[in-house]
Chains A and B, each alone.
Chain A
Amino acid sequence: MTQPHAAHVTPDSQDAAGAPAGPDGQVGQAGPDQGTTPAHVPPAELRAALATRLGGAARAWLDQALDEAAAHPGTHGPISVWELRLAEAGRRCGPAHADAARVLVLHAAQADTDALTRVYTQGTADERRAVLHALPHLVPGPDALPLVEDALRTNDTRLVAAALGPYAARHLDPHQWRHAVLKCLFTGVPVDSVADLARRARGDDELARMLADYAAERTAADRTVPEDLHRVLALTESGRPASGTADPHGKES
């Protein structure tokens, strides 16, 4: 689950239309093994890419799981069939493909905010990460922000990184977003995990102040300043947001 980054963010590479399923600009439009998370890849592409990587038994399991989820979405009894599939995706598809498989199950079940909240709160860390990755595909508005906020309160860096995908880029308010960026620096989450970083950081004087203070604190303690801090600081200095940006939150600073 490392997230290597090929190219750094440029404003030009972001999805100007802000389509939920679109690549986010933070990373290239490569497949899951090349640096994107399932949050950045449209479900149809995700399924096609996953199908080429799974073995026969795992692929058959996934096809059946997605068919069942599409046929019986919603809540049925104590545990819906698609929720069982969500739980067992790791051992069925292997840990390397579990995130993508779970996002596809959630998408096939058309899980709404209530359903996503339930499976997040009842989920393992792996299931919670998949819910976070699924948010941009399934929730158009800010209703699911409490899940992002919950993940950002944890110290599990896999959850922190997953929380800062395209959904948070679109909806997280400036104060919480700045603290999330700072938390990445504190906990060693590469800021390349932060979707739409360049656009949201641009011209953010408050973020710049927080970064400078953190650098001063590290220096006073005779500790190194994370390289990522300098990178984000440079982004804040790159001017005000361009007009026509899809996300109004990005302008607040």
Chain B
Amino acid sequence: MRIFDPHIHMTSRTTDDYEAMHAAGVRAVVEPSFWLGQPRTSPDSFRDYFDALLGWEPFRAAQYGIAHHCTIALNPKEANDPRCLPVLDELPRYLVKDRVVAVGEIGYDSMTPAEDTALATQLQLAADHGLPALVHTPHRDKLAGLRRTLDAVRESALPTERVLVDHLNETTVKEAKDSGAWLGFSVYPDTKMDEARMVALLREYGPEQVLVNSAADWGRSDPLKTRKVGDLMLAEGFTEDDVDRVLWRNPVAFYGLSGRLELDVASGEATHEGNSILRGGE
């Protein structure tokens, strides 16, 4: 089973996770820019974070045979902090980089006017840079948040077909699907989706344009949830082709809209001589 995790925050994970992910079949990931748990207070810490997503993290992933890509954005939470807003002016120079495959995560957290502005600005940046957008849907007041998100997308220059709306669930999937957007589901140990509900939604709505991710980060999460969904799909009668479509071909098709996917780790990031990580702290 080949797996592309289209949303995982590897900067929060250890090399044990990379090793286990590779053993489970993960060969490619996209790491969306997000917050860090501890709020940032200046654009400088964004810069260091973006540099890590474009430098150290792809290198780490390559040590384990995993192709790493990222999305770049000012996230919805920190769009509300005026100290962080100047990072919006810095995004264009990151959005031209190799391996930046979307603008994201953008969207709503608390649905404030500041979030409206940041979302609209960054949807425009995606259109300007020929990139699709990864749009987070809020945890609180989710259905209202999805509707406001889809409205913002419709008002933007970015076609809905170039948008992935993420963190969907039973209450939001239908309207998201009707919009023509790509459909993202985060499978978590406690919150968001779980494996059984995910498989039930796949049966009801089909695998078309569906992406399943672990969204693993520094919270309680599991970077192998993608594999567990694939296993349950097979156990419940889906074909291997269905699994490959959801866990590989759909994310390749969506992020491939950027023209910047580089899935061949061996010829790309190359493990070079590098096994400094394999050797731990040496």
Residues of A in contact with B (beta carbons under 8 Å apart): 1-3, 78-79, 83-84, 87-91, 94-96, 98, 122, 124-128, 154-158, 161, 186-190, 193
Residues of B in contact with A (beta carbons under 8 Å apart): 51, 54-56, 58-59, 92-93, 96-99, 259-260, 262, 264, 267-270, 272-277, 279, 282
Main secondary structure of the interface of B (DSSP, over half): loop
Query: Would A187 and B262 count as touching, CB distance under 8 A?
Result: no
Hey, which chain B residues are within 8 Å of A193, CB to CB?
A: 273
In the assembled complex, the Cα of A224 lies from the Cα of B192 at a distance in Å of: 48
Hey, which chain A residues are within 8 Å of B270, CB to CB?
A: 1-2, 95, 158
Query: Would B98 and A122 count as touching, CB distance under 8 A?
Result: no
Knowing A124-B54, A126-B98, the reply to whether A91 touches B260 (Cβ < 8 A) is: yes
Interface centre among A90, A94, A125, A193 (most CB of B within 10 A): A125
Query: Would B99 and A190 count as touching, CB distance under 8 A?
Result: no
List 3 tightest A-B contacts by C-beta distance, closest first: A157-B274, A125-B55, A90-B98
Hey, which chain B residues are within 8 Å of A1, CB to CB?
A: 270, 272
9 more contacts with CB within 8 A, not counting A1-B272, A2-B272, A91-B98, are A87-B97, A88-B96, A90-B262, A91-B260, A125-B55, A125-B56, A157-B276, A186-B279, A187-B282
Hey, which chain A residues are within 8 Å of B55, CB to CB?
A: 124-125, 128, 156
Least CB separation from B265: chain A residue: A95
**Total CB contacts across the A-B interface at under 8 A:** 89
Interface centre among A78, A124, A126, A193 (most CB of B within 10 A): A124
- A selection of 17 A-B contacts at a CB cut-off of 8 Å is A87-B93, A87-B97, A90-B98, A90-B262, A94-B267, A95-B264, A124-B51, A124-B55, A124-B99, A127-B97, A158-B59, A161-B272, A186-B276, A188-B274, A188-B275, A188-B279, A189-B273
Hey, which chain B residues are within 8 Å of A125, CB to CB?
A: 54-56, 58-59
In the assembled complex, the Cα of A158 lies from the Cα of B268 at a distance in Å of: 12
Q: Shortest Cβ distance from B90 into chain A, in angstroms?
A: 9
Query: Would A156 and B59 count as touching, CB distance under 8 A?
Result: yes
Knowing A78-B93, A155-B276, A190-B273, the reply to whether A91 touches B262 (Cβ < 8 A) is: yes
Hey, which chain A residues are within 8 Å of B273, CB to CB?
A: 2-3, 157, 161, 188-190, 193
Hey, which chain A residues are within 8 Å of B262, CB to CB?
A: 90-91, 95
In the assembled complex, the Cα of A193 lies from the Cα of B268 at a distance in Å of: 19
Hey, which chain A residues are within 8 Å of B92, CB to CB?
A: 78-79
Q: Shortest Cβ distance from A96 into chain B, in angstroms?
A: 6
Interface centre among A1, A89, A189 (most CB of B within 10 A): A1
In the assembled complex, the Cα of A127 lies from the Cα of B94 at a distance in Å of: 12
